[in-house]
Amino acid sequence: MEPNKNPQRPQFTVTPTPLRVPPPKRESAWKKMLGPFAIIGVLLLKFAAKLKFLILPVIKFLPVILKTGGTMLLSVGAYAMVWGWKYALGFVLLIFVHEMGHVVAARKFGVPASAPMFIPFMGAFIALKGRMKNAHEEAEIGIAGPLYGSAGAALCHAAGMALDMPLLVALAWSGYFLNLFNLTPVGQLDGGHVAQALWPGMWLIGYAILVWMAVTHPNFIIWMLLVMSLPRLLSLFRRRTPEEVEFYTITPAQRWKMALMYFGLIAALAYQMHNAHAWLQPVHGQ
């Protein structure tokens, strides 16, 4: 320190000290790890907000998607244990096409219909949430399933022959048989609904066919159909109410149209079953 030259005014020298800057805060490992995901989440939310008109319908029909899709997967798994997953998948898809034929026809006539529900080894069903106006509408909805199902089997048949794939032709044969069986004019089978527009007495013929099948090829499903078909069969022997008389009143043109569709489809299915069997037998030794 230099000597003070002015004793009246003391002087001081100050040594400056550097500013102390606090050390940067260290980010936690969790923040580092979750940070990118948070950014992605924000972007997805913004994108979803713009596409809510697409997302909301999916959410609305999610229960239906889960029920139909879930029971389809369950059926595929059950059939796969017997026939393998490829055949099981194709068979379930053919049943789905059949059931969607009913759904499309029902909505055409303004009758709300549920999505198909599958039951392993028993097929599938839809629930109609309304009443048909007359027997002709019920017959149209009933035959739509076999029409769609037969078309699906025919496409499978053509693809199998074009690609030389016996599995597809075998699936087509199964599809033809499934739709032909459903045309049996009895009870709640599709043929039973069609018979209402032709001649309800056909239920007696259909019931006799089921009895013959139950005796020659005992099967739980056949016996169950016999029991379920009894109420409709017994209704033939009681007097109809005025509402029932009105329900069964259809025009001759509607009756002829349904007869041509019904018996024509039966003939086509029998012919296609023969063709599929003939293609599989000698050429591929199935």
**Higher-confidence residue: 204 or 285?**
204
The residues with which 128 forms a beta bridge, in sequence order, are: 113
How is residue 77 annotated by DSSP? H
**Higher-confidence residue: 218 or 285?**
218
What is the per-residue pLDDT for 244? Answer: 85
pLDDT band (50, 70, 90) for residue 104: very high
Q: What's the CA gap between 149 and 180, in Å, rounded? A: 10
| Token pair belonging to 47 | 């994108």
DSSP 144-195: HHHHHHHHHHHHHHHHHHHHT-HHHHHHHHHHHHHHHHHTSSSTTSHHHHHH
**Higher-confidence residue: 68 or 189?**
189
Question: Tens digits of per-residue pLDDT, 265-281?
Answer: 999 999 999 999 999 98
The residue whose two tokens read 């898809």 is 93
Sorted by where each begins, the domain ranges of the chain are 51-129, 132-286
pTM as predicted: 0.76
The answer, yes or no, to whether residue 37 has pLDDT greater than 80, is no
Q: What percent of the chain has pLDDT over 90?
A: 50
Range 254-259, long-range pairs (CB < 8 A, 24+ positions) = 254/136, 254/197, 255/197, 255/198, 258/136, 258/139, 258/140, 258/143, 258/194, 258/197, 258/198, 259/198
Question: Tens digits of per-residue pLDDT, 131-169?
Answer: 888 999 999 999 999 999 999 999 999 999 999 999 999
User: 84 vs 89, 219, 276, CA distance in Å?
Assistant: 9, 22, 20
How is residue 130 annotated by DSSP? S
